[in-house]
Amino acid sequence: MEIPYRDDEDFDRRGSYSPEEAAEPLKRLNSSMEGSRVASFKDSRLEPVRPARVRENTPSFWQRFLARVQAFKDFLSVHYCPFLDNISATVFLIIIIVIILALLAIIAIVVALAAASSKKQEPHSLLQMQRTHTNWPHVEGENPLSLKLVSSKALLPPNVSFCDGFGFSCTSLPSLVIGTLQRCDGVVDCPDGSDEVGCKVCQTVFSCNVASSRNKPAHLVCLRGSSISDGVKDCADNSDESRFRRKKCAEEEFRCHGTDVCLPSELLCDGDAHCRGGEDELQCEGKCRTGSRWCDLSKRCIPKWQICDGITNCADGTDEKNCSCRECSGNGKALCKNSKICLDRSRICDGIVDCPNGDDESQCPGSCPRPPSYIMDRDMLLCSDGRYYNRKYACSGLLKQCQDKCSNCDLEVAFTCKNNKCIPRASVCDGLNDCGDSSDEEDCGCAAMKKLGEVTQCGSASGNAVVKCIPASRRCDGYEDCPGGDDERNCDNCSGNPNAIYCNLTRTCYPSTKRCDGFEDCPNGIDEKDCTCEECGKQPYPMYMCSGSARCFPRSRVCSPFSRCPDATEIDKLFCANKARTSYFGL
């Protein structure tokens, strides 16, 4: 079949082939390449041939970091989390960053909550303060103390310690601290009983193992003598009931009277009675075992857990002497640093000296400086209770502990018996033999008294009868000789006694002992104004001197529960806040 062509001329031009024409392009190409080689050769002779620069493809820091992340992701996917194969390294990195940020946020929240919780546990009525002098300073003024919460130890005298850091904190109530010697002593002190759990060493002599549950191993239990052979099984092996029961005791054992209980020597004279009658604690003769302490007055051994607990179990206080902070630890206790005496915390700054040299009352709020020795010798008497009293009160006939210490009775408030005994003036001619020699009941009739001079008749409560006569010189002298006190009312002055207090509002005379005693006898309070430390210190009971005003109150009455001081300063408020805190929480 012939193929038609549209244009034969075109066919002739395109379809013809001539070798010469075809060779022309090839010749031109060869000529060009030859020229290039010659030029290249010439250049090579003029300068050295430099190797072609190879472009380095160095990975960046981010690429290297992602490679490490990828390797870590691959490791986790192979060994732990196969699903990680489905996410990229970048996504995996973002997840890790989110987790880290979440953990940091949780830590910050926990720390913030812990800080808030600790602040809540602090007493909100306590204020920050600083001791600067024996007398606590007046702090109102340009720079008053800030209302910041502080621990109650801010009120401590410098030579008294609360022994912080010692003792056992109850698990469910960490603010409640049990003394070291009360931990594992056989008696639960913590609300959750944690002080008797996890014991490694017991304060008691006897201990045993008790299985708490099927899933938990047996734990050590400390038992006191009252739990031994009492008919109650406390130990898993019943050793508390069977170990000491036998018909015949060994030669070195002690038999409890009328029982089959035989006690080894280590259970004798330890301060903890194991016999029902306590006969195992008799006849110890000063030899105590297992850390107990001998009390010479009671002829008994004080058990270990009653030593240095702030409570005097021996009348001479030997059980609270020679204590360390480890022993005198726990809420409600304080240690005299110099004398090593353990006290109940309520006895600190109560106005009564307990530590030698008065360390427990030194630099307390509301306290006055101790008078110089010459004033102490002149105005004070040391009575049989070991305390100093102002002579006026010591010789008033009101204080039995001072009866044998006075050479002269106070003329203002006391009557001197023929046997030199002091009795209150109100006890004279009351029908009772208060002197012991009846000298207070002599010449009591009005007729007999009139012979001695002018008299004042004391009427009965109804005013219809005369019940007593007193010398007229005792009228308006400040002391109530009449049973109803009529002899001190309707007075124009107190001429009978220059030391008496005259209340012009009621025209009544009061004895000098009413001055600065913390009780307002006159309606305008004149008997309690402008008091000094010397006046307040004369009272037979501990007084509190307000730091911002010339007023004083009995320490037991200055807080009700807030400070009764006029214009109470932060120091006065702090004292009452601390007193309430100690009273309610034992801290």
Are 423 and 400 found together in one domain?
A: yes
**Co-location of 372 and 438 in the same domain:** yes
The percentage of the chain sitting over the pLDDT mark of 90, rounded to a whole number, equals 47
Shared-domain flag, residues 490 and 525: no
pLDDT higher at 549 or 587: 549
CA 582 vs. chain centroid, Å, equals 8
Provide mean pLDDT across the span 47-65: 63
Mean pLDDT of the chain: 81
Backbone angles phi, psi at 556, to 5 degrees: -75, -10
pLDDT of 482 reads 87
Residue 142 has pLDDT above 70, yes or no: no
Task: Return phi, psi of residue 31, to 5°.
Answer: -65, -40
What pLDDT is stored for residue 1 in this prediction?
Answer: 43
Q: How far is CA 170 from CA 179, 261, 462, in A?
A: 11, 36, 64
Q: Is residue 204, in this structure, part of any structural domain at all?
A: no
Pair 491, 530 in one domain? no
| Residue at 567 is within a domain | yes
- Are residue 525 and residue 576 in the same domain, yes or no? yes
Are 418 and 447 within one domain? no
Q: Of 89-103, 354-368, 448-462, where does mean pLDDT reach its minimum?
A: 448-462
DSSP per-residue string spanning 357-387: GGGGGTT-TT--PPPPHHHHHHHEEE-TTS-
Domain presence at residue 452: yes
Which pair of structure tokens corresponds to residue 152? 């109650």
pLDDT confidence band for 194 (50 / 70 / 90): very high
Q: Give the 3-state secondary structure of residue 294.
A: strand
Mean pLDDT along residues 304-311: 95
Note whether 384 and 400 are same-domain residues. yes
| pLDDT digit string, tens, across residues 215-226 | 666 788 999 999
Burial pattern 49-59, b for ≥16 Cβ within 10 A else e, equals: eeeeeeeeeee
Segment 69-109, tens digit of pLDDT? 888 888 887 877 887 778 888 888 888 899 999 999 999 99
Domain co-membership, 568 together with 541: yes
Query: What pLDDT does 468 receive?
Result: 83
Given a cut of 70, whether residue 31 has pLDDT beyond it is: no
What is the four-CA torsion angle of 76, 78, 84, 89, rounded to 10 degrees? 70
My answer on whether 470 and 486 are in the same domain is yes
Which single residue is written with the structure tokens 């047996």? Answer: 218
In a domain, 45, yes or no: no
Positive or negative: CA dihedral 549, 551, 553, 555:
positive
Can you give the residue range of the structural domain that contains 391? 368-442
The number of distinct structural domains making up the chain is 3
Task: Give the CA dihedral 540, 544, 545, 551, nearest 10 degrees.
Answer: -80
In a domain, 338, yes or no: no
Pick 44 or 321 by higher pLDDT. Answer: 321
Percent of the chain whose pLDDT exceeds 70: 79
CATH of the domain at 397: 4.10.400.10
Residues 572, 525 share a domain: yes
Q: Identify whether 155 is part of a domain.
A: no
> 383 lies in a domain?
yes
pLDDT in tens, 506-523: 999 999 999 999 999 999
